Amino acid sequence: MSLYHRLAKLLFEASLLKRIERTGYNYLGTGKENVASHSYGVVFCSYLLSKRYAGKVDESKVLRMALLHDFVEARTGDFNAVNKLYNKTDEKKALKEAFGDLFFAEEVFTLYEEYRDNKTLEAKIVHDADVLDLIVQLKEQRDLNNPFAERWINYAKKRLSLEEAKALAEAIIETEWCSWWLERLIKEADDKDSL
């Protein structure tokens, strides 16, 4: 098999994450998201947090770590907090089988280990970004009247470690999920009415 055929297989594996649903929403009662959508949110949150730590963090490493943080779920599925009480996965085996024969496998394994150890600033950023992306989704569900979302938000906030992430979480909680577009429309309508 050529290298490009092998990479094509890896692309199809990554594409599967678009169809694997995050299972925690079943317990929340509302909301829906696939693993690929969540991974994008984590990458974007990681990007924003890494900007707050400019000069102190390897931004490229943060983004690569965020991109790969849930890749193994293409093979293991998404285990939410309740599932993890009863099930274990062999993420290292899944990662090795996904990347082990590729020329950049050691980089992937190193990023994975660093993320799981959660000791470096880069790993802490990605871990907090993972939680922040969940808080964004929960805030949207709270704004749409899910009575349990608030409790989940409070639980999630306790998992944050970085002060920048905690401050961003508070801002997320104080901001209406639709304010980025709704406030502008209201202002434009008010401006037209005042003419």
- Amino acid residing at 77: G
Query: What are the domain boundaries of the chain?
Result: 3-193
What does pLDDT average to over the chain?
96
Quick one: pLDDT at residue 184?
A: 86
Q: Residue 44's pLDDT is what?
A: 98
CATH class of 3-193: mainly alpha
Determine the pLDDT at residue 195. 63
Q: Which one has a higher pLDDT value, 190 or 76? A: 76
**Span 95-116, pLDDT tens digits:** 999 999 999 999 999 999 999 9
Tokens of 160: 């944050």
pLDDT at residue 31 greater than cutoff 80:
yes
Q: Which of 111, 121, 112 is nearest to 163 (CA)?
A: 121
Is the model more confident about 190 or about 33? Answer: 33
> Taking residues 47-67, what's their average pLDDT?
97
Helix (H, G, I), strand (E, B) or coil at 36: helix
Average pLDDT value for residue range 124-132 = 98
pTM above 0.75, yes or no: yes
Alpha-carbon span 170 to 104, nearest angstrom = 38
Is 14's pLDDT higher than 90? Answer: yes
| Whole-number pLDDT of residue 189 | 78
pLDDT tier, 59 (very low <50, low <70, confident <90, very high otherwise): very high
